[in-house]
Amino acid sequence: MLKNINTTLKEIFHVLSGALVIFVILEIIWHGIVLAYININWVLIFWLFTGILILILSNKNNGK
């Protein structure tokens, strides 16, 4: 079960990583195009949160 959650979180983490990279590149190329609608801080916080959860769950899985 934990492994499934961990795998799911990894998928979310990868998409969020992609989103962050794309958003930052878009902002560099065309200033304001992302920040006008999306607060990248929240994306970053959510990305960090999923990353930490993945680490915790991986540790638990390895502990078993």
The whole-angstrom separation of Cα 63 and Cα 54 is 14
- Residues 40 to 59: which contact another protein by CB under 8 A? none
What residue has token string 């195009």?
33
9 binding another protein? (CB under 8 A) = no
Closer Cβ to another protein, 25 or 52, answer by number: 25
Q: What is the dihedral of CA 8, 13, 19, 22, to 10 degrees?
A: -130
Total chain residues near another protein (CB under 8 A): 20
Q: How far is the CB of 55 from another protein (least distance, A)?
A: 19
7 binding another protein? (CB under 8 A) = yes
